[in-house]
Structure 1
Amino acid sequence: MSIENKVVVITGASSGIGAATAKLLASKGAKVVLGARREDRLQELSQTIGDNAVYQVTDVTDRAQVKALIDLAVSKFGRVDVLYNNAGTMPQGNLSDREYDKWQMMLNVNIMGVLNGIGEVLPIMQKQQDGLIITTDSVAGHVVYPASAVYNGTKYAVRAIMEGLRQEEKNHGIRSTIVSPGAVRTELVNTIGNTQIQAGISELMNADDSKGLALNPEDIANAVLFAIDQPKHVAISEVLVRPAQQEV
């Protein structure tokens, strides 16, 4: 699938991996449809990209808003070639902290947000008999570690959902890709509620590139581009991208 003139819907597009991916794909000729909650960031990003970008304020936990984002892509550009489910949250903490509201938020954003995107775009891609659905997962979907049980659980769930999607839709011309980053310098760190955990991860993120401890959003954007820029008979089922020195 050549990226030029492809219509790519991106959630979580206002910063970090989503914004970096939007800029990279647009620079290669894609038309990007940007969704996130922060309108000021979306407007700024859309203006930076230019005519090949449109945006819609989108909370992925609200199915009607996700539908509006997909509908915008179709009304503006006539189709959806790629959906990139990228929105996520990571309020780390121990199970003994009993942070029920944060647990529910993670389930809503990290799992239902992905399902809302899949559910709304599938009828369009089935009609097209063509499409690619990409979802940001995590190394945390492969390895469980302390103070991350619920986040790990959401990311393991995403892997299961995406594999089910692959099996169900492969005969309809629809491919699926999981992009699983390790440590990346993004604002996701700011969603960590436990201050001790946040401080430790922030220190890791602030290390310079030569130490190989954290990736930049552009590194993940390149992985997304790689998955998209494949011929139709090739499906990149998963890309696992770690900093060179990451242990887990």
Structure 2
Amino acid sequence: MSHSLSGQVAVVTGAASGIGLASAKALVAAGARVVMVDRDEAALKAACAPHGDAMLPLVIDLLDAKACASLVPAALGLAGRVDILHANAGLYIGGDLVDAQADAIDRMLTLNVNVVMKNVRDVLPHMIARGSGDIIVTSSLAAHYPTPWEPVYASSKWAIDCFVQTTRRQVFRHGIRMGAISPGPVVTALIADWPADKLAEARASGSLLDASEVAEVVLFMLTRPRGMTIRDVVMLPTNFDL
């Protein structure tokens, strides 16, 4: 038996493309309204246009600390409530650590770790006051074993996976469920930075997921009866280990 999302309001970050957009479309199809958060205004408007007032665009650069702090108040101003937060926005750095640029490391760790923590912290008082809420964080298969071609990215996901599981144990008593979705490689713009030989090998072997497949699992997590928490889902292409 599944729990209906009809009438609920979700906030999805990184919503203009990839997993975020797929998740938002799945949520709308399930009856929710979605506040779509992204810094790419043109892409955001294009994504929202076919869905009328079921998708509400909110242009925010989450790497700007002041703008990041405005997310929850702005979402409440648009939709009046927040039942679901899908903290999805993220960056990727692959390759050898010695080749990584310092400013790129700072940007990725800020978005993948600090911004997620701040967004969750900022939405919690609203959810605690209401006695209910769902928080899903996009983690990665890289959070579950040391991936040698992406040490910076994998480290950010190990950190955020720990954050999800420790915070979950603080907030469940308030009626708030929290979990991580940890997909293997997904066909999105993020993997454009993969080493060319690794990307070609993955495409040839069929070891990539589609963003819509990840969205289906996000929807599964959110629609379980309130007495059940799906705390962590690791999903990977069947051919991943080829």
2:164 counterpart residue number: 162
CA distance in 2, matches of 1:84, 1:131: 11
Among the aligned pairs, what percent are the same residue?
Answer: 35
Deviates more, 1:24-33 or 1:178-187: 24-33
Could you tell me which amino acid in structure 1 is paired with residue 237 of structure 2?
Answer: P
CA distance in 2, matches of 1:212, 1:89: 23
The equivalent position to 2:186 in structure 1, one of 166, 184, 187, is 184
- Gap runs ≥5 in structure 1: none
The equivalent position to 1:200 in structure 2, one of 197, 201, 218, is 197
CA distance in 2, matches of 1:226, 1:201: 31
Pairing 1:71-220 to 2, within 5 Å after superposition? 71-97=73-99, 99-190=101-192, 192=193, 197-204=194-201, 206-207=203-204, 211-220=205-214
Query: Structure 1 pair 81/63, CA: closer, same or farther in 2 (3 Å)?
Result: farther
State the Cα distance separating 1:67 from its structure 2 match: 3.6
CA distance in 1, matches of 2:27, 2:85: 13
Answer whether contact 1:25 1:32 (CA < 8 A) is retained.
yes
**Could you list the per-position Cα deviations for residues 181-204 of structure 1 after superposition, in whole angstroms to 9, with x for gaps in the alignment?**
0011001123x2xxxx43134324
Under a length normalisation based on structure 1, what TM-score does the superposition of the two structures give?
A: 0.91
- Gap runs ≥5 in structure 2: none
CA distance in 2, matches of 1:183, 1:74: 33
Query: Structure 1 pair 98/199, CA: closer, same or farther in 2 (3 Å)?
Result: closer
Could you tell me which amino acid in structure 1 is paired with residue 184 of structure 2?
Answer: G
1:9 counterpart residue number: 11
Answer whether contact 1:7 1:33 (CA < 8 A) is retained.
yes
Does 1:239 pair with 2:233?
A: yes
**Could you list the per-position Cα deviations for residues 5-35 of structure 1 after superposition, in whole angstroms to 9, with x for gaps in the alignment?**
1111000111011111111111121100001
Paired residues in the alignment total: 240
**Could you list the per-position Cα deviations for residues 110-130 of structure 1 after superposition, in whole angstroms to 9, with x for gaps in the alignment?**
101211211211111111111
State the Cα distance separating 1:60 from its structure 2 match: 2.2
TM-align CA RMSD: 1.6
Under a length normalisation based on structure 2, what TM-score does the superposition of the two structures give?
A: 0.93
Task: Say which SS state the counterpart of residue 86 (structure 2) adopts.
Answer: strand
Query: Structure 1 pair 21/201, CA: closer, same or farther in 2 (3 Å)?
Result: farther
Could you tell me which amino acid in structure 1 is paired with residue 186 of structure 2?
Answer: V
Could you tell me which amino acid in structure 1 is paired with residue 135 of structure 2?
Answer: I
Task: Say which SS state the counterpart of residue 108 (structure 1) adopts.
Answer: helix
